[in-house]
Amino acid sequence: MRFSNGALHLGMWGWADKMKQVATVGELLERYAAGQRDFDGIDLSRGDLRSARLWHVRLRQALLCRARLAQASLMGGDLSLADLKFGDLRQTQLHAAQLVGADLRFADLRGSRLWRTCLRGANLRGSRLEEALLQGTVLQGADLRGADLRHVNLRFTDLGGAFFDQRTRFPPDFDPYWAGMQLSIPTTPAGDPLSIG
């Protein structure tokens, strides 16, 4: 197929514009409003996205460490392998989102809505999930060591192969072994079980 110089120039310009690095939250919101949905690999660490509506956004491998996402709506979004350590995700809408392998260590997810969300292999060590809605959520192989799951209904949550330890806090009468979870026993550098207490 042959293109005129003008058409080729416009095509290259459009590609370059799309690939231009988003540097601020304001720029991301402007581009989203203009129809862009792919922001894979974006670095918005410590960014303020509170109450933002970003349905079906792609933020795969995004750097969102310590970002403020409280009450944001990321319904149907893809945040697989994203870095959300220490993030504020209180009451965040993540219904049907993909967070496969995401790093959510010490994130605050209290009251977040995670219906039918996939968190397979996600790192949730030390995270706060009190009163989060996890119906139909997939947490297979997730790391829940030290996570706080009090006041959470885990009845329809897939926890097969997820890891917990003595610091993980569960709802009353919840049996992690019955749910298929695995106890993680701390070890010494030599691999021997570490005595606690």
Residue 3 has a pLDDT of 36
Instruction: Name the pLDDT band for 88 (thresholds 50, 70, 90).
Output: very high
* Whether the predicted model's global pTM rises above the 0.85 cut: no
Nearest Cα neighbor of 78 from 41, 129, 127 is 41
At 88, is the secondary structure helix, strand, or coil? Answer: strand
Residue 4 has a pLDDT of 39
Task: Answer yes or no: is pLDDT of 102 > 70.
Answer: yes
Q: Is the dihedral of CA 26, 42, 116, 114 positive or negative?
A: negative
pLDDT in tens, 60-75: 999 999 999 999 999 9
At 110, is the secondary structure helix, strand, or coil? Answer: coil
Buried b or exposed e, range 12-36, using 16+ CB within 10 angstroms: eeeeeeeeeebeebeebeebbeeee
Of the candidate ranges 5-9, 29-33, 162-166, 192-196, the one whose mean pLDDT is the lowest: 5-9
pLDDT in tens, 34-65: 999 999 999 999 999 999 999 999 999 999 99
CA angle 120/74/23 to nearest 5° reads 105
